[in-house]
Amino acid sequence: MQQFKTSYLLSISFISALGGYLFGFDFAVISGALPFLRDQFGLNEYWEGFATGSLALGAIIGCLTAGRVADKYGRKPGLFIAALIFGLSSLAMAFASGLGVFITARFVAGIGVGMASLLSPMYIAEVSPAQYRGRMVSINQLTIVLGILITNVINYSLRNSGPDAWRWMFGLGAVPSALFVLGVIWLPESPRWLLKAGKEAQGRKVLEKIGGTDFSDSSMDLIKLSLKGNQQLSYKAVFAKAVFPAVMIGIVLAVFQQLCGINVVFNYPSNIFASIGASKDDQLLQTVFIGGVNLFFTLLAMVLVDKIGRRPLMLFGAAALAVLYVVIAQLLSIHSALVGVFLLAAIGTYAISLGPVTWVLISEIFPNHVRGAASSIAVLCLWAAYFILTFTFPVLAKWIGMHNTFYLYSGICMLGFLFIKAKVRETNGKTLEELESVFSPH
> DSSP secondary-structure letter at 5?
-
Q: The domain 7-187+229-438 belongs to what CATH superfamily?
A: MFS general substrate transporter like domains (1.20.1250.20)
Distance, CA of 172 to CA of 236 (rounded, Å)? 41
The pTM of the full predicted model, rounded to 2 decimals, is: 0.82
393 in Cβ contact with 405 (< 8 Å) = yes
- Output the CA angle 34-142-156, nearest 5 degrees: 30
Could you read off the pLDDT tens digit of each residue along the chain, which spans 442 residues?
A: 456 777 888 888 889 999 999 989 998 899 889 989 988 998 888 999 999 999 999 999 998 888 788 888 999 999 999 999 999 999 999 999 999 999 999 999 999 998 998 899 888 888 888 777 777 877 887 898 899 999 999 999 998 888 899 999 999 999 999 999 999 999 999 888 898 888 888 988 988 888 888 878 888 887 877 666 554 556 777 877 778 888 899 999 999 999 999 999 999 988 899 888 888 788 888 999 999 999 999 889 888 888 888 899 999 999 999 999 999 999 999 989 899 999 999 999 999 999 888 988 887 888 777 777 788 788 889 889 999 999 999 999 999 999 999 999 999 999 999 999 998 887 776 666 666 655 555 4
- Output the CA angle 313-329-320, nearest 5 degrees: 15
How far apart, in Å, are the Cα atoms of 18 and each of 6, 108, 293?
Answer: 18, 18, 20
Nearest partner of 128 among 137, 120, 119, judged by Cα: 137
Sorted by where each begins, the domain ranges of the chain are 7-187+229-438
Please count the residues of the chain.
442
Q: How many CB atoms lie within 10 A of CB 282?
A: 15
